[in-house]
A and B are shown apart, each in its own frame.
Chain A
Amino acid sequence: MRRSYWWYLLPIGIGFTAVVAVPFAANVVLSFFRWKGGIAPLHWNGFGNYSDLLHDANFWLSFRNSVFMIVAIVVIPTGAGILLAATLVDYLGKRFGARAASFLRATYYLPQILPIAVAGFIWSWILDPGSGSVNTFLRSVGVSDPPDWLGSPSLALYSVMLMLVWLQLGYPLVIFMAALSRVDPELYEAAAIDGAGWWRQFGAITLPTVRPEIFIVVLTATVAALKVFAPILILTGGGPEGSTLVPSYYAYRNFFELSQVGYGSTIATVMAVVIFGVAAVLLGWQRRVERRA
């Protein structure tokens, strides 16, 4: 009987082969060639592109920036998301009613439903060094020379991170609030009667409850962080002076700007392998923790 279920996988199998497996295989094959694209001839290059990549300072810079993207998309929003979800459910929800908590949850989630291009343009205006609202505010409180948020190489990466935190926060928040609705409110009441404070309740009840969701959020957000693209394209174009370059944007630049399709494929292949690796490690970790629990 079990064999019969395989038929249900057929449509997704065909879709996966056509949309993921074949293009990925083609990408891997192209990474061994030098190719300008279009109907230009392919030149066999063996592992030449991979060896060039190892010595490419821009690639390693983009890789380093991926770590910052993980901080902005995974670490900060997940941590803040748990705290905010707990505050909204335990405190504001009880004090002002479930509708107030739902309203606040929706406002945090709003950036997630905005088209990324719109969000990017809004932030580029907010962070405009001349007439942007941030610098206008800073000038109004007496800062005579406010910073150039997206134009200074030492600041732009942090400005992009700020936008990404804003963009991402709603996602873990909504998931964690849904998870917390599983908890019997009497559990918190019993803990309070036993003398447990908010932080004690948070550590003993809230965190263990949302643990499966934390794994899901960390896994999906880490993958998103490693392939972040659109915010960089819209906000900084990898600049200023390459300070916000990330691997997916660097691959794109090689594909389309520099007509180095083979090299772009090499970057994409390496990043796909890194993402598979990171996802496998996270899934393995989740399984180990679940087994222990």
Chain B
Amino acid sequence: MRSVSRRACIIAAALALTATGLAGCGGGTSGESGKTFKILQYENASTAQGQGWQKALEIFKAKHPDVKVEFQQTSFDAFRQNAKITLSGNDVPDVVEFNKGNADGGQLAAQGLLEPLTDQVTKNGWDKKVTGSMAAFAKYDENGHAGTGDWYGIPNIGEYVMFYYNKAKFQQAGIAKLPTTLAEFETAMDKLKAAGQIPISSSANTSQGFNQMWIWYSLVSALSTRQQIDDFMFVKAPVDFHSDPWKEGAERFQQWIDKGYVGDKLGGLSFEQATVNFLSGKTAMLIWNNGEFARIRKDAKFDWGYFTLPGAQLSMGSSGHLWGVPAKAKNKDLAYDWINTTLSPEVQNLIGQQGGLPLAGDTATISDPVTRQFTERFDQLVKADTLSFYPDYPVPGFLDFIQTHMQAMSNRNETAAQYLDALQKFYDDGTKR
């Protein structure tokens, strides 16, 4: 018995020591928390936005020399999937980058995980810099629906979807000038087909195969009014997917698949593979947003250009991802100052110089003519209020759902009518939930 109690004492002592050690560690961290400012974000440092934020970091550190700044890197997918866990813990970052839309930002806002920013927006004049459709996905109501309610996030940049094209392939196919209407665009694609080209590089993998979804939604947007898109996006009024623009958009999309405008065997391809196929000269066009502008500029070994879908009433695009302040953040004032810094002219104009489509930059200060022209096109779209956002924003799980049906249509296992039936049910169920 004596040996048992001695062992028990040793184990108990070891456990007590461990527990004391852990308690010591915890105490130490909490004592320093006032001086450590944690930024959690997922932009690559080599992107325009990433470079802008490095500049913001310099400015911020100079303004707050006593604060230890932790600039933490994560990935879009990792944060998207772990956001609820990260933000509901006790040791949360002070400012985070998050994805917009009812499925992401809306959920976080409705669950009380993000701090409402409306007072700060007015106080700091952020609403003067982030306006119109660029502000639409910064606000969420108590159900997590975008468009109205408190501000929960602040974007720095914008996005728009375009067709990058290979000029040599257009010439070989006898396309003398760029199409200006949807019908002309289809004629151009017929010419490319006749010349043995795959007109558009696309993809429809469940994982990261977004191109088909963007083609479909670009067609819907092209045929939509502002009101129709807003009803769908902000769940303002019931949407009948069996009427136009949804019906014609889906049917036209199916015709594009059947006519071979987008190539075939897309179900296993990701957007990265679609981009590589365009860059390696296997396809004449690539549908993507400004995210690949810098890469195509650097890596394309051919003369290229870009245009938004010709004849479209609205074009796909939105604000970029948002800065938010976790409800449990310990240094909220510093977080507001960080957001202010990222919206400062110095940071915004640097983002603009790098082709990053800043929301509060001065396009006239962009010295490179190609980048300036590209940014001017974005400014035009924002000014005309013709950006139609991304289709997966309104309902949680929509991205997965749309992707699955894009695969089915691309594999010719589903018709446009069947897709619209499924879409109606998913949207209605999801927006009622």
Contact = CB atoms under 8 A, between A and B. Distances in A.
B88 A39 contact: yes
Contacts of B4: 3-4, 7
Interface string A36-50: 111110000000000
B8 interface: yes
Interface stretch (A147-155, A184-192, A212-220, A277-285): A147-155
A10 B407 contact: no
A150 B267 contact: yes
A127 interface: yes
A112 interface: no
B111 A240 contact: no
A153 B11 contact: no
Contacts of A40: 110-112
Nearest to B204: A151
A253 B267 CA distance: 20
Interface stretch (A93-101, A194-202, A229-237, A268-276): A229-237
Interface string A104-137: 0000000000000000000010011111000000
Contacts of A172: none
Interface string A1-41: 00110010011000000000000000000000000111110
A258 B397 contact: yes
Contacts of A153: 267, 407-408, 411, 413
B400 interface: yes
Interface in B23-55: none
Given A149-B268, A240-B407, A36 B273 contact: no
B404 interface: yes
Contact of B7 (A7, A242, A257): A7
A237 B206 contact: yes
B207 A237 contact: yes
Given A129-B268, A256-B81, A259-B107, A241 B411 contact: yes
B108 interface: yes
Interface of A is mostly: loop
A239 B205 contact: yes
B84 A37 contact: yes
Given A239-B207, A257-B400, A38 B268 contact: no
B419 to A, nearest CB: 12
A151 B3 contact: no
A37 B103 CA distance: 13
Instruction: Tell which of B11, B208, B404 has the most Cβ of chain A within 10 Å.
Output: B404
6 contacts: A4-B3, A38-B107, A39-B111, A236-B206, A240-B267, A259-B84
Interface of B: 3-4, 7-8, 11, 80-82, 84, 87-88, 107-108, 110-113, 204-208, 264-270, 273, 277, 282, 396-397, 399-400, 403-404, 407-408, 410-411, 413
Given A38-B111, A40-B112, 12 more contacts: A4-B3, A4-B4, A38-B84, A38-B113, A151-B410, A153-B407, A234-B207, A237-B205, A237-B207, A237-B403, A239-B205, A259-B396
